[in-house]
Amino acid sequence: MSDGPEIVAKGFVDAIVWGEHHRVWDLLSAEGRRTVLRVGASRGMDDALIARLRDGTAATSEREDFLGDLVNGLRADLAGNDLDAVEAELDNDDTAPAGTARVMLVAPVPAVLNLPGLPVAAVDLVEETGEWRVDRIIPRTSK
């Protein structure tokens, strides 16, 4: 396995920040892609387009529009955070199933405050063909 889950999670966030929509798609697991397409379906996306995206047969313009919308949606989910500064920390949960990992994205706070970083999101990853892939990202919302 090449990069650890923390590196992949941080790379995923960096791809969102920089609008690298192909990289975002590439870093999603098979389940992550299915989830994104299910969300699209629930929001009225055409079933034929979903099938083309799933099968990799969508026209270039369809794929580009979809991936652009995906990145914009992820940005909206994470809005209000300095995503360039977030740090990725592996959640060392011994009860997690083998081949899975959770990474916490944490916004650093000034050292003078002597406080832990503020949680921004959790990223669930899974091993697929020897690589870590993102299953889902769970933004932390303030309440």
Render pLDDT for 71-122 as a digit per residue (tens, 0 to 9): 999 998 888 877 788 889 898 877 778 899 999 999 887 777 777 778 889 9
Residues 8 and 78: their CA atoms lie apart, in Å, by 17
Mean pLDDT, residues 122-132: 95
CATH of 1-143, one of 3.30.160, 1.10.10, 3.30.420, 3.10.450: 3.10.450
Tokens for 8, please give them. 């992949």
Question: Is the confidence at residue 12, as pLDDT, over 70?
Answer: yes
Residues in Cβ contact with 95 at an 8 Å cutoff, skipping those fewer than 6 apart: none
Let me know: does 102 contact 140? Beta carbons within 8 Å.
no
Residues 29 and 34: their CA atoms lie apart, in Å, by 9
